[in-house]
Amino acid sequence: MQISHRRLGGAVAAVGMALTALTACGSGGDSADGTVELSFLVDNSETTLSQANAVADAFNAANKDIKVEVETRPQGTEGDNVVKTRLSTGEMSDVFWYNSGSLLQALNPERSLADLTGDPVLSKVEEGFLPVVSQDEKVYGVPIGSATGGGILYNRKVYAELGLQVPRTWAEFMANNEKIKAAGKTAVISTYKDSWSSQLFVLADFYNVQAAVPSFAQDYTANKAKFATTPAALTGFQHLADVNAKGYQNKGYGSATVDQGLKLLLEGEGAHFPLLSFTLPPLLKDNPEVATDIGFFGVPGDDPAKAGATIWEPAAVYAAKGTEHLAEAKEFMAFVASPEGIEAIGKVSTPTGPYRVAGAKLPDDAIQAVKDIQAYIDAGLSAPALEYLSPVKGPSLEQITVAVGSGLTEPAEGAAQYDKDVEKQAKQLGLSGW
């Protein structure tokens, strides 16, 4: 199940908004003074729009012969439909902001997007990002904004108080949990009312799955590998059960919300919270201590020498294949994927994780959790989440993980349920082997 900003909230615009966006958005053109005008289509969320305007304004200030105009579309499913419709009818804007990863495949990129393979526009893009904007070894997009880490948020003051070290194996993590429980604190915060949060032990464990079975994503897509029959993939479900069986969760975890869980973590009443790092920056305004008190580590595996983290990659900017201004579109995309472009975005948005652009540095005041995620990437100990490498995902994972994490379903049964859950979508996508 994909976890993304769209999934975590925000209004889904009505059909009328989608039709308005469709009729209002058109391709860029040329002004009377010879300036090339590029249209840049983005969703209408406050965060996306502020970042898009910031990078467009910075580019426009540095390029007098090209002007980027930001246009908006709805968020969520309605916005997806706008993107797909405009691509299929040849009415897409010159460049547009969209998800990286498996959702890219639904856009039929070979037919609808400009191929950037080997182009200088990619010169600053980190190599580790390229697979999530590629299909059939062709590259189509550049990163915009920052990545997000998926793993364990932890209270560093609790760790200092109890003399704990960041665990590098699951056994060390469970030993820490035992000490935290003995100290009268919640060892592992669970917030199952917001059921999406129950998925992290499974989804954020993918770094360890890939380390053990490098071909898993490919085999999973081809229906040659399953969670229930791949020991490394089954482990995430087992982690949910282990934490529950040991009584490490907070009281009332079944009705707790993410906001309540973050409060427990920040106040030191809870020590660990399996979550995504993008949840932290919004807390800074009222809780500046978030920047220093909350750290991050990846879901631990079995090999301390390979302790790493799973990354939710940033979105991307793509160019429509039919744009009349491809050269100018590439100039803008190169700026987006440059330290200068990142600097412009950083002025209006606190990073939720590392940037995927060579030479783009985190600000000195970046929160500690983001610095921790950067360390994993710098060490070469990270991997994209499975959803960025495979389009195979099902809608019921969060319900399954709630049941496993509540002791109602055995891990092997939960994994088998999810294997069954993905079949319908895989067949709808027409994937080979299904």
pLDDT digits (tens, 9 = 90+) for 388-405: 999 998 899 999 999 999
Whole-number pLDDT of residue 102? 84
Q: Characterize the bridge pairing of strands 138-139 and 315-319.
A: unpaired
Whole-number pLDDT of residue 106? 81
- Report yes or no: 217 and 132 within 8 Å, Cβ to Cβ: no
- The string of pLDDT tens digits covering residues 249-306 is 999 999 999 999 999 999 999 999 999 999 999 999 999 999 999 999 999 999 999 9
What parts of the chain have a pLDDT lower than 70?
1-32
Letter string b/e over residues 124-137, b meaning 16 or more CB atoms within 10 A of that residue's CB: bbbebbbbbbbeee
For the chain, which residues make up each domain, given as ranges?
15-147+314-361, 148-311+387-428
d(CA 129, CA 337): 11
Q: What are phi and psi of 90, to 5 degrees?
A: 75, 20
Q: Give the DSSP letter string of 364-415.
A: TT--HHHHHHHHHHHTT-EEE-GGGT-----TTHHHHHHHHHTTSS-HHHHH
Is 148-311+387-428 assigned to CATH 3.40.190.10?
Answer: yes
Whole-number pLDDT of residue 28? 52
In sequence order, which ranges of 128-257 are alpha helices (DSSP H)? 156-162, 170-182, 200-203, 206-212, 216-221, 231-245
The reported pTM is: 0.88
Architecture of the domain delimited by 15-147+314-361: 3-Layer(aba) Sandwich (3.40)
Q: Give the DSSP letter string of 140-162.
A: -EEEESB-EEEEEEEEHHHHHHH
Fold agreement (15-147+314-361, 148-311+387-428)? yes
